[in-house]
Amino acid sequence: MAPTALQQVLAALTPMPGEDRISLDESIRAQHGHGEGWMRASLPGAMPFAHTTQEVSAILARCHARRVPVVPFGAGTSLEGHVTPPPGTIGINLSHMTRILQVNADDLDCRVKAGVTRQSVRRTQALGGSRSGEFGSSKVAFMQAAHGTPALDVTGAIKRAPDPLDILNPGKLLSPVLN
């Protein structure tokens, strides 16, 4: 018997990094088979967990080549039923794509990756900027608010071990004054 289109896509996705990045587990698929609306749940055939835009693109290309439908899944708050997959579908969990690229408070808009929640945007805005060091804002305030002092202390200790003078990426994860 020839493999189904879904089986062919799964075989093509096998080289994806990380053993737990594609789930066939029924309980995981059930979590991704519905939103918060009234529609009855339906399980996707598989649930890859994408971390980058490149991974999403690779998954979509393989699914497109074999005409396998795809349903993206972010936070699971859908009330419209658009995350409920039809049979033979691959879902893509986007919750690991959490970069906030830009917050424009004056324009009331922002640029984010697909897994960002509104709570995360609000925290970032309250802290005055971006969660990404590439845009020049310090991660210290965000780490403090999001994870608390113990997590910030551990992160600081790990950073200080190879870089006690904060020369590499200065001020991003350590406060500017070192004891």
pLDDT at residue 13, as a whole number: 76
> What pLDDT was estimated at residue 103?
75
CATH of domain 5-93: 3.30.43.10
Residue 148: per-residue pLDDT: 73
Confirm if 81 and 35 have CB atoms less than 8 A apart.
Answer: yes
As a whole number of angstroms, the distance between CA 99 and CA 47 comes to: 21
Token pair, residue 171, equals 């001020």
Q: What is the pLDDT of residue 76?
A: 63
pLDDT for residue 75: 67
How far is 80 from 8, CA to CA, in rounded Å?
30
Based on the number of CB atoms within 10 Å of its own CB, is 47 exposed (0-12), middle (13-18) or buried (19 or more)?
Answer: buried
Q: Is 31 helix (H, G, I), strand (E, B) or coil?
A: helix
HSE-CB of 136 using CA atoms within 13 angstroms: 0
pLDDT at 40: 76
Q: What is the pLDDT of residue 95?
A: 85
- What per-residue confidence (pLDDT) applies to 33? 78
Q: Show pLDDT as tens, one digit a residue, over the chain (179 residues).
A: 667 888 888 888 766 665 568 888 888 888 887 777 777 778 888 889 888 888 889 899 989 999 999 988 876 666 566 777 888 889 888 888 888 777 777 777 777 788 887 777 777 777 766 555 443 345 566 666 667 777 777 777 777 777 777 777 666 665 544 44
Q: What is the DSSP string of 47-99?
A: EEB--SHHHHHHHHHHHHHTT--EEEESSS--SSSTT-PPTTPEEEE-TT---
Cα separation of 58 and 65, whole Å? 11
Q: Which pair of structure tokens corresponds to residue 162? A: 């190879």
